[in-house]
Amino acid sequence: MTRIHFAADHGGYELGRALQQRATDAGHDVVWHGADALDPGDDYPIFAVRVGAAVVADQDAGVDAFGVLVVDDAVAGVVAANKVNGARAVSTESPQGSVRARAVVDANVLVLDGIAFEPSAWLNVNAFVTSPMEQTVERGRQILQIEEYENSGTIEGWAVQLEPEQIHRAHE
């Protein structure tokens, strides 16, 4: 069972709650990190950080987890969520985009605009949480280089010698 961490600001509250319900109905383990009620004055950064941190903590503990953030302006939510060390947040407009984001960069947080059409948004979320990362040396090496820079501020290239069996395999 996949755990999905959800949150939304005022601009995405209704859609966020609807997607949370769809995920629950689909059998996912769902955790809500947003406000308990619509707050027209709330801001997205705290929700982005909560979702990003929860996903990273779960993944570090070996839990199959993703985040979904629904906000007034998705690009702003992406920037905020990506401030969490280990979060790889993206905003995609289609299920195909979500599949590519998972395959190429092993994205773990999906950020959606609050004005998205609910059925389309659900297809996007479902594609995101059910798609694997490409299991290639190249993709693994690239992600390790991103993480290396994130943690040390440099890319020394140590991951160049990565062998296929050294790549973490999720969703098997």
Q: Quickly list DSSP for the chain.
A: --EEEEEE-TTTHHHHHHHHHHHHHTT-EEEE-S-SS--TT--HHHHHHHHHHHHHHHHHTT--EEEEEEES-HHHHHHHHTTSTT--EE--SSHHHHHHHHHHH---EEEEETTS-HHHHHHHHHHHHHPPPP--HHHHHHHHHHHHHHHHS----GGGG--GGGS-----
Residue 172 maps to a domain: no
Looking at the structure, tell me whether residues 112 and 32 fall in a common domain: yes
Looking at the structure, tell me whether residues 149 and 98 fall in a common domain: no
Strand partners, 70: 8, 112
Residue 171 maps to a domain: no
* pLDDT above 60: residue 162: no
Looking at the structure, tell me whether residues 116 and 56 fall in a common domain: yes
pLDDT in tens, 47-76: 999 999 999 999 999 999 999 999 999 999
pLDDT band at 163 (very low <50, low <70, confident <90, very high): low
Residue 74 maps to a domain: yes
pLDDT value at residue 165: 62
Strand partners, 65: 3
Give the C-alpha separation, 13 to 11, whole Å.
Answer: 6
- Give me the number of domains the chain comprises: 2
118 phi-psi bin (left φ>0, alpha ψ -120 to 50, beta other): alpha
pLDDT band at 171 (very low <50, low <70, confident <90, very high): very low
Domain that holds residue 143: 137-166
What's the mean pLDDT in 74-93? Answer: 97
pTM reported for the whole predicted model: 0.88
pLDDT in tens, 129-155: 999 987 788 888 888 888 888 888 888
Give the C-alpha separation, 122 to 15, whole Å.
Answer: 10
Report the CATH number at residue 27.
3.40.1400.10
Looking at the structure, tell me whether residues 145 and 124 fall in a common domain: no
Residue 83 maps to a domain: yes
Looking at the structure, tell me whether residues 125 and 92 fall in a common domain: yes
Look at residues 51, 71, 53, 40 and name the one whose alpha carbon lies nearest to residue 6.
51
Looking at the structure, tell me whether residues 69 and 148 fall in a common domain: no
Looking at the structure, tell me whether residues 99 and 124 fall in a common domain: yes
Looking at the structure, tell me whether residues 98 and 143 fall in a common domain: no
